[in-house]
Chain A
């Protein structure tokens, strides 16, 4: 035990400098990153299998190799570029997935890519059956690195890079806005609001304080780029007795603002992970892992991007120079002197009676807030080799406890703004008077709020048995019992999972495989007597390359065909406990009072009863093929799947009258039923080419996922068949069909009445009457296109690695095809007081009626035009150049007697290019921080 240097792990970070370890000679220029390691082990449910034995519906990424040529920061970033089946959003189009880190349900963001050994995507139902109910929609298993029996090694990395905003929304300036707003008023039959003289003054820009024209995206407020840097050190080493792995890192990122408190925005992360693997004797091994992450961020009070999308450019000037105030205006100077918010000694805060606060004044005077998160993860596992009892039997148990807490502290100040009354003396603009609104208040109290914590407890125990009879019949079995529980602050019920699992594998001469996986799942969310269900899964596989006719083939190295069918039971879509029982309660009743003081609460029924509420089923059939051809020139695998989610919970509104429930008090007499069904069908593929051309090692990977959804059963009762959701995709966008604009009043009179409110005038959108009832209303809505909510229908990934001498070039691209979006943000749906973006330049007017791209302007609600229809529909098809990285590894022979064993440096760019017809919409964020390109420079050294 004395070789377990536990104290060393804790203080290693301070002591590493004093170590000087003799360099061992490594193979010339290191590990061939093109070789995926055909014999490497892949983590699947409760066991590790050789990659040649991978069951269908499973994909793996070797992150340890990937990170050498592609340094990235979020564990699941762009994974659709390397494997099929994961499309960036979901596994095989399901609507959620479970992330397990070392077998414990954790957040994917709590693991850094540098700490990951491999990521396994368990897509098929047969691959996740042993994990029980909450894994039924797919599992992403992240395995973290372990220590190895090797001399002590330090791996350090430093990066610094810049985020550059891709694209900002374009809004109109004051003068243009004001003249177009006048046009909108005219369209509505009102008098113009802004005089020509006013508009002229705004257009000349002669005095931006009297005639404001605020551009939220100008360099006055935003920097061109902001920095992100990080540094990380990894310590590994050990002997056969004990091995350890430690990772310590720190990252810090700034923000794009360059004024006020927002200049000091930042976010940072410190992480410390330690792992010890101990071999006690031939029979017992144990491991202990601990991980902590400290997240801090600071931001000024206020949401800049939301304000940027709503505040019109001519409302007010946020900062006004003191110079404009007349010297002799004692009243105004007194007001100003008493203000505590004179910015830079030169400006006071401007405002009006209606706009008494604005985001610029907020960033100067309203204070800031800090957000803090602390995460702690601990798990321990013990492996027992029970060969003394029964040869081939082993037992592994694991226990984990995670805890996370977060809170926000803030200093919230109030401030006064001043509205100037302008006049003109001797040709110069002066402020003739000031009106004060609001008050300056700096309470100096630190407010603490938004505190939350959550906790996870996980326990599992698994027996593993492997045996072979005469090397012809190979049998293995897994028996597992596992459960976990997640608690969240403020939420009464916990998320929990408990199940038993049994898997039996048999193969004949490594040629014909059969696997029966099963689980007994238990859910506390159902009624007594209905809480258990049995989920079976059967897989058959055929390793054709071990057959005589392919054994000596020059073309086929490996060819495996498998098929599986499963029925999984899950309670993932059962949102709450006790949904099966009727419930009358007064505890949530609405209050009513009489006698100016006596009160009582209403007693309401929350739901009707249905004791037979049961699990939701995932029924699936899939076929998988995997092959390797021409001595590793091509590696490919593909899957086809068809599955049906059956029995999803609904409150059937078509069977009960609408007065059986009310929004307030929240009450209902209607029970929950298992009713809705969804069908999914699709395929995924992953093809890799490896070739050496001259001196260049090339590796190209192409992967893709396609899925289609259909609602096969729904509780609905529509008048017309085309309105039925059944038969249409689950992620469908529904809306009206449009046919251009009304060009004149006569056309309006001759067309069906559009009943959406407001008066329809020429320049409004004309819709199609689907049901020919001469009225256009919600009954004329049809299916417009798939929204791609679980990932776009077709996702493509392309990755290219080229190695030449000591340079490695890595290029990653992803493509998304088949989905539609609606231009329904405030950037496009412009009416009333909304801020005018450049799209209004294409508005309908009498002169431009033939080429208009936007309806007539209006100051009313425009409810006829601004609703879901194919007028606003656009295709979100795109191809992204997601990453390009060039890495240079210093030749080993140069470092032979140096204390550094490996040095490599790299430069990379992320999110570089989007190729799409609708590039402008896709690259633009309207109410949130802009999308950025990230350019990074980094260096990695190994001691």
Chain B
């Protein structure tokens, strides 16, 4: 009897599982050096820059300008526009995100040469070139947005940018570096852009043996399929030299603008030349698409886009997706939307007449009793004005006080327009946010 109990006593504890009691349960903890043998892992470091691209898919900061307001009283930009912009409340800040991306890009550039992208040395070189080109180009993009949000003049007249980082920072780095000048930042941006343009192809696409670029032919690439593996169709959507040229032109325009050209060292001529590089590739302004102004609503064009292919108006686009959140946010309330972005009278008045003259000019035929007739066609394309049509059933939207539904000016807080106008640009009228259909 005693023996049985003793036996039980000894055996029972062995059934007790001991995970996390003495030693921790295994977790997949990895370190940075895993990237040298795993190209996907290494590419993941670069992916941070793509995940945190600064572009937004809907109008956001427009509501902090004179162009539009939002009817959402808890919106950060509305708070900012009405006085609470402060050092510790800055919705326009790019500091944290951009510098974080630059940190990952620097880690990537420091280690990319050691990564075994491919067992074939030549293919490895092509991958390395392209991925490093992407990293340099994206670093130029981060610098552009940092200068946009945080560049400025000091009290004593110097034009400063941000501290330039080209190597990754560690926990023991000195973080108290002063800002570099705006001019130096622009030069760093140009350098990064130049390196990117040299390393990246103009566009991604499958080529034939005859079209292999000279620098790779010199390395020994004879079969186009090796090149297509690195820079073929299936890479469309990633950064190309064409896109970097456009980023460079945008940055040059910022530096040459009246706000900064006294201190940046960039002239209008320089900005114009960089823009010309981009436009020359589509044969100048004659190459602009006729329906490019409504690129978001050209249904046939969108439906027939090939994988990664961009319509003529667009330089760089994200992946195709299906969603009606933009319409649910911005359609007038009678169409089951929330009417968020309300263009202001300022913006409406900025549209000239169809004959080209501004509305307050004597030569225009502006009629205050019919303010929306004979106007520049873009007014009707981009803004829902009183008595215009919107939505899948072409419903008439009445924002005047004689209206009867929630579309009326200031009718329902959080749904109705505050200005008398609703947004049309960027919305596809064939969407239906009615919860019964929700298409």
Binding site for B on A (CB under 8 A): 190-191, 193, 280, 284, 286, 353-354, 356, 382, 397, 399, 438-439, 457, 459, 483, 485, 492-498, 522, 524-525, 577-578, 581-587, 589-598, 600-605, 608, 656-662, 665, 667, 669-671, 753, 755-760, 777-778, 831-833, 859-861, 863
Interface residues on B, range: 35 or more
Q: How far is the CB of A624 from chain B (nearest CB, A)?
A: 34
User: Which residues of A lie under 8 Å from residue B175 when comparing CB positions?
Assistant: 656-657
Offer 18 A-B interface pairs, CB within 8 angstroms, sorted by A.
Answer: A280-B1, A284-B5, A354-B415, A399-B12, A457-B17, A493-B24, A577-B24, A583-B29, A584-B32, A598-B234, A602-B44, A662-B97, A671-B171, A755-B84, A758-B84, A832-B413, A861-B78, A863-B79
Render B1-25 as a binary contact track against A, CB cut-off 8 A, 1 for contact: 1100100010011001111111111
Rounded to whole angstroms, the CA-CA distance of A586 and B38 in the bound complex is: 11
Rounded to whole angstroms, the CA-CA distance of A578 and B414 in the bound complex is: 46
Q: How far is the CB of A142 from chain B (nearest CB, A)?
A: 23
Q: How far is the CB of B394 from chain A (nearest CB, A)?
A: 19
Residue from A190, A585, A592, A658 within 8 A of B30 (CB atoms): A585
Rounded to whole angstroms, the CA-CA distance of A755 and B87 in the bound complex is: 11
Please tell me which stretch of B46-54, B215-223, B275-283, B419-427 contacts chain A, meaning at least 4 of its Cβ atoms lie within 8 angstroms of it.
B46-54
Q: How far is the CB of A508 from chain B (nearest CB, A)?
A: 37
Residue of B nearest to A671 (CB): B171
Residue from B23, B28, B100, B238 within 8 A of A524 (CB atoms): B23
Could you tell me if A354 and B412 are in contact, using CB atoms closer than 8 angstroms?
A: yes
Residue from A584, A594, A604 within 8 A of B319 (CB atoms): A594
Residue of B nearest to A860 (CB): B73
Residue of B nearest to A439 (CB): B436
User: Which residues of B lie under 8 Å from residue A525 when comparing CB positions?
Assistant: 24
Q: How far is the CB of A694 from chain B (nearest CB, A)?
A: 58
Residue B286 CB within 8 A of the other chain: no
For the complex with contacts A592-B51, A863-B79, 9 further pairs of A-B residues with Cβ separation under 8 Å are A382-B5, A485-B20, A584-B30, A586-B40, A594-B235, A598-B237, A659-B99, A662-B96, A671-B171
Q: How far is the CB of A831 from chain B (nearest CB, A)?
A: 8
Could you tell me if B2 and A284 are in contact, using CB atoms closer than 8 angstroms?
A: yes
Could you tell me if B99 and A657 are in contact, using CB atoms closer than 8 angstroms?
A: yes
Rounded to whole angstroms, the CA-CA distance of A756 and B79 in the bound complex is: 7
Could you tell me if A459 and B13 are in contact, using CB atoms closer than 8 angstroms?
A: yes
Q: How far is the CB of B428 from chain A (nearest CB, A)?
A: 18
Rounded to whole angstroms, the CA-CA distance of A902 and B17 in the bound complex is: 48
Q: How far is the CB of B161 from chain A (nearest CB, A)?
A: 16
Could you tell me if A662 and B86 are in contact, using CB atoms closer than 8 angstroms?
A: no
Rounded to whole angstroms, the CA-CA distance of A364 and B105 in the bound complex is: 57
Rounded to whole angstroms, the CA-CA distance of A84 and B84 in the bound complex is: 48
Q: How far is the CB of B374 from chain A (nearest CB, A)?
A: 31
Could you tell me if A498 and B51 are in contact, using CB atoms closer than 8 angstroms?
A: no
User: Which residues of B lie under 8 Å from residue A602 when comparing CB positions?
Assistant: 44-45, 47-48, 50-51
Residue B35 CB within 8 A of the other chain: yes
Could you tell me if A583 and B30 are in contact, using CB atoms closer than 8 angstroms?
A: yes
Q: How far is the CB of A662 from chain B (nearest CB, A)?
A: 5
Rounded to whole angstroms, the CA-CA distance of A439 and B438 in the bound complex is: 13
Could you tell me if B28 and A587 are in contact, using CB atoms closer than 8 angstroms?
A: yes
Could you tell me if B237 and A524 are in contact, using CB atoms closer than 8 angstroms?
A: no
Q: How far is the CB of A160 from chain B (nearest CB, A)?
A: 44
User: Which residues of B lie under 8 Å from residue A755 when comparing CB positions?
Assistant: 83-86
Could you tell me if A759 and B82 are in contact, using CB atoms closer than 8 angstroms?
A: yes
7 closest Cβ contacts across the A-B interface?
Answer: A594-B237, A603-B44, A757-B79, A757-B84, A659-B99, A496-B21, A494-B20
Rounded to whole angstroms, the CA-CA distance of A777 and B18 in the bound complex is: 53
Residue B153 CB within 8 A of the other chain: no
Q: How far is the CB of B230 from chain A (nearest CB, A)?
A: 14
Could you tell me if B79 and A603 are in contact, using CB atoms closer than 8 angstroms?
A: no
User: Which residues of B lie under 8 Å from residue A280 when comparing CB positions?
Assistant: 1
Render B70-104 as a binary contact track against A, CB cut-off 8 A, 1 for contact: 00011000111011111011000001111110011
Could you tell me if A353 and B333 are in contact, using CB atoms closer than 8 angstroms?
A: yes
Rounded to whole angstroms, the CA-CA distance of A594 and B234 in the bound complex is: 8
Residue B320 CB within 8 A of the other chain: yes
Could you tell me if B435 and A438 are in contact, using CB atoms closer than 8 angstroms?
A: yes
Rounded to whole angstroms, the CA-CA distance of A194 and B34 in the bound complex is: 66
Q: How far is the CB of A615 from chain B (nearest CB, A)?
A: 15
Rounded to whole angstroms, the CA-CA distance of A596 and B237 in the bound complex is: 8
Rounded to whole angstroms, the CA-CA distance of A191 and B21 in the bound complex is: 67
Rounded to whole angstroms, the CA-CA distance of A497 and B18 in the bound complex is: 10
Q: How far is the CB of A135 from chain B (nearest CB, A)?
A: 15
Residue B120 CB within 8 A of the other chain: no
User: Which residues of B lie under 8 Å from residue A578 when comparing CB positions?
Assistant: 24, 27, 29
User: Which residues of B lie under 8 Å from residue A353 when comparing CB positions?
Assistant: 333-334, 336, 406
Rounded to whole angstroms, the CA-CA distance of A590 and B100 in the bound complex is: 15
Render B31-64 as a binary contact track against A, CB cut-off 8 A, 1 for contact: 1101100001111110110111000000000000
Interface-centre pick from B34, B47, B436 (highest chain A CB count, 10 A): B47
Could you tell me if A493 and B40 are in contact, using CB atoms closer than 8 angstroms?
A: no
User: Which residues of B lie under 8 Å from residue A592 when comparing CB positions?
Assistant: 47, 50-51
Could you tell me if B96 and A658 are in contact, using CB atoms closer than 8 angstroms?
A: yes
Residue B236 CB within 8 A of the other chain: yes
Render B209-252 as a binary contact track against A, CB cut-off 8 A, 1 for contact: 00000000000000000000000011111100000000000000
Could you tell me if A777 and B171 are in contact, using CB atoms closer than 8 angstroms?
A: no
Could you tell me if A603 and B237 are in contact, using CB atoms closer than 8 angstroms?
A: no
Rounded to whole angstroms, the CA-CA distance of A485 and B436 in the bound complex is: 49
Q: How far is the CB of A79 from chain B (nearest CB, A)?
A: 31
Could you tell me if B73 and A861 are in contact, using CB atoms closer than 8 angstroms?
A: yes
Could you tell me if B51 and A665 are in contact, using CB atoms closer than 8 angstroms?
A: yes
Residue of A nearest to B25 (CB): A493
Rounded to whole angstroms, the CA-CA distance of A314 and B197 in the bound complex is: 63
Residue from A485, A586, A587, A831 within 8 A of B19 (CB atoms): A485
Rounded to whole angstroms, the CA-CA distance of A191 and B413 in the bound complex is: 12
User: Which residues of A lie under 8 Å from residue B414 when comparing CB positions?
Assistant: 832-833
Residue B307 CB within 8 A of the other chain: yes
User: Which residues of A lie under 8 Å from residue B436 when comparing CB positions?
Assistant: 438-439
Could you tell me if B48 and A665 are in contact, using CB atoms closer than 8 angstroms?
A: yes
User: Which residues of A lie under 8 Å from residue B20 when comparing CB positions?
Assistant: 485, 493-496, 524, 577
Residue B411 CB within 8 A of the other chain: yes
User: Which residues of B lie under 8 Å from residue A577 when comparing CB positions?
Assistant: 20, 24-25, 27
Q: How far is the CB of B403 from chain A (nearest CB, A)?
A: 14
Residue from A492, A582, A669, A777 within 8 A of B86 (CB atoms): A777
Residue of B nearest to A524 (CB): B24
Could you tell me if A596 and B97 are in contact, using CB atoms closer than 8 angstroms?
A: no
Rounded to whole angstroms, the CA-CA distance of A397 and B16 in the bound complex is: 14
Could you tell me if B18 and A608 are in contact, using CB atoms closer than 8 angstroms?
A: no
User: Which residues of A lie under 8 Å from residue B1 when comparing CB positions?
Assistant: 280
User: Which residues of A lie under 8 Å from residue B333 when comparing CB positions?
Assistant: 353-354
Rounded to whole angstroms, the CA-CA distance of A221 and B19 in the bound complex is: 52
Rounded to whole angstroms, the CA-CA distance of A667 and B96 in the bound complex is: 12
User: Which residues of A lie under 8 Å from residue B238 when comparing CB positions?
Assistant: 594
User: Which residues of A lie under 8 Å from residue B73 when comparing CB positions?
Assistant: 831-832, 859-861
Could you tell me if B51 and A603 are in contact, using CB atoms closer than 8 angstroms?
A: no
Q: How far is the CB of B119 from chain A (nearest CB, A)?
A: 20
Could you tell me if B9 and A659 are in contact, using CB atoms closer than 8 angstroms?
A: no
Could you tell me if A757 and B25 are in contact, using CB atoms closer than 8 angstroms?
A: no
Given the known interface contacts A190-B410, A594-B308, A659-B99, the answer about A861 and B79 at a Cβ–Cβ threshold of 8 Å is yes
Q: How far is the CB of A287 from chain B (nearest CB, A)?
A: 13
Q: How far is the CB of A779 from chain B (nearest CB, A)?
A: 8
Q: How far is the CB of A277 from chain B (nearest CB, A)?
A: 15
User: Which residues of B lie under 8 Å from residue A591 when comparing CB positions?
Assistant: 51
Could you tell me if B9 and A397 are in contact, using CB atoms closer than 8 angstroms?
A: yes
Rounded to whole angstroms, the CA-CA distance of A495 and B99 in the bound complex is: 38
Rounded to whole angstroms, the CA-CA distance of A652 and B337 in the bound complex is: 44
Residue from B21, B47, B89, B320 within 8 A of A600 (CB atoms): B47
User: Which residues of B lie under 8 Å from residue A777 when comparing CB positions?
Assistant: 84, 86, 88
Residue from B34, B86, B406 within 8 A of A354 (CB atoms): B406
Q: How far is the CB of B167 from chain A (nearest CB, A)?
A: 14
Rounded to whole angstroms, the CA-CA distance of A860 and B75 in the bound complex is: 11
Q: How far is the CB of A24 from chain B (nearest CB, A)?
A: 34
Rounded to whole angstroms, the CA-CA distance of A596 and B79 in the bound complex is: 37
